[in-house]
């Protein structure tokens, strides 16, 4: 399955928060932010930290997308 964090970026805009501010508030590593930007897998612990800071649920920050043919 593919992952999309588009909801996360939209939520940051709605909360008037930058990716750098999110990284600092959660204490996650810069390379983890790169993974998020590239829609790559990150640990549930990281997602939980993000949800705690943004007062959101996992479904509010990410989507699981069905695989397309050829993947």
CATH superfamily of the domain spanning 2-65 = lambda repressor-like DNA-binding domains (1.10.260.40)
10 Å Cβ neighbour count for 30? Answer: 9
Q: Residue 32 contacts by C-beta under 8 Å, 6 or more apart in sequence?
A: 23, 42, 46
Closest by CA to 58, choosing from 7, 2, 1, is 7
Give the ranges where 1-71 is alpha helix by DSSP (H): 6-14, 19-26, 30-37, 44-54, 58-61
* Domain ranges within the chain, ordered by starting residue: 2-65
pLDDT of residue 64: 93
pLDDT tens for the chain, residues 1 to 71: 899 999 999 999 999 999 999 999 999 999 999 999 999 999 999 999 999 999 999 999 999 998 776 65
pLDDT of residue 46: 97
For residue 65, report the phi and psi dihedrals to the nearest 5 degrees.
-105, 140
pLDDT of residue 71: 53
């Amino acid at each position: 399955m593919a992952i999309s964090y588009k909801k996360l970026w939209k939520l940051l805009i709605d909360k008037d928060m930058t990716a750098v501010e999110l990284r600092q508030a959660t204490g996650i590593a810069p390379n983890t932010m790169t993974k998020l930007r590239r829609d790559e897998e990150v640990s549930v612990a990281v997602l939980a930290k993000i949800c705690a800071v943004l007062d959101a649920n996992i479904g509010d920050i990410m989507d699981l997308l069905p695989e397309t043919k050829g993947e």
